[in-house]
Structure 1
Amino acid sequence: MVEGRYKDRQEAGQTLATHLMQYANRRDVLVLALPRGGVPVAYEVARALHAPLDVFLVRKLGAPGHEELAMGAIASGGIRVLNAGVIGTLGIPENTIEQATEREQRELERRTQEYRDNRPMPVLRGKTVILIDDGLATGATMRAAVRAVRQKQPQRVVVAVPVAAPSTCAELAEEVDEMVCVRRPEPFFGVGLWYENFAQTSDDEVRALLTRATKEIPVPSWNQ
């Protein structure tokens, strides 16, 4: 048993929400989850804040032979962020990066259809956007999300996670208006270590939580 672990993503989300209560009951706040694991966490935050919940699609570019290690990430809007340190250390060639980008782009498009079902992306201009995932290791996927969201001209970008590598929190803090990392264990090792139950979130669970949020969370209209 590792001390300081969350029981599951639901508990992690409930804990994270207590650190974000200054954003509760505000008409300008949007909660955007990074699927899939970020959705159960973000659902609990959105419910506590009475804020709209949606997803923001990002795909990690896994390093060959080390798929859990991000050599970069892509996000909606043609954003690609590469991790030069990982690429250089492993000697990953350009054609391998391009092949991974094309493969993950196809998956990004599939998930966009799967989760959004032609529903338009909420208006981000002038809003306070809270980006949520279940944890951050290298931060590549979140960094891609932040840069893509910035293109939509929000008023404020907040990144909030239950657990993250301390160095990643420090680096991302330079790119956002507020960085909320509830736990920053050292040594970190990996996100899954800090959950008792870290079972993969399914597409069905993502859709179900988005539907529940629409029906159960009392919030103002997206465009108000």
Structure 2
Amino acid sequence: MRIHILLFIGFLTLLSCQKEKFNVDQFHSIIPIVEIEEQEEWDKNPNWFQLKEGEGYRNYFRYNDHIYLGSRNIKNKPIDATAKDFWILSGTEYAKDKYYFFHPIGTSICANSRKYGCYCYFEDYIIGKFNVDDFVYLGEQYISNKDSIYFKGVVMKNVDAKSFQIHQFENKPNVTSSLTGEDAFDKFATDKNNVFMNDQILDEINSEGFYLEYDSINTQFFIGDSTKKYQYLFSGILIESNSYNF
């Protein structure tokens, strides 16, 4: 039995606070933020919407006509965007204003403060300055910009944008992460050359004949191609399966 494990360093980062990077005097208590609840139809029909004063959605919140990115218990430097021109794509953390597209990039940086406790923020969030007509949301946190594919705000390497396709388990249960509130499943996609798990190439499986299978009776998930089959577990774990049903 062979196990393939992808380590998620970001997960550990979210659970711990690193050494404080900013002086606590730069942070101030803020008013309570009203969180916008996720809507089930957003998964199939994302739409652009704006935050009202005192509202928050996922990692974004609006306060004093500025947009912030991170924990609600502190107010650090606002992101480089004008609140009245700031739009978020529902069901995602992609956002835009008149000039740029945004997404929290990488893992959050967390710090301890005697006054504010543990708080987290992102240093990087600007994806790039694109033509609005070139920005296409593909689903499952993937976007396309002409010849490039981005996953969660980061451009993917070694991908053929023209043949890129997203694959999903049919009729899988809805399982969300207790940390992020997002779908706990890894994302799968293919192009003419490779299979991708999230934004990384999955060498074990070929793109030709790639498939995802959900066994609802035994509550098991499988991925494979025309010659190989693996049981898929959460957090990027694949276990080679001895049984194969074409």
Which structure is higher in helix share? 1
Q: TM above 0.5, one fold?
A: no
TM-score with structure 2 setting the length? 0.25
Structure with larger Rg: 2
TM-score with structure 1 setting the length? 0.26
Q: Which structure ranks higher in relative contact order (CA pairs < 8 Å, sequence separation ≥ 6)?
A: 1
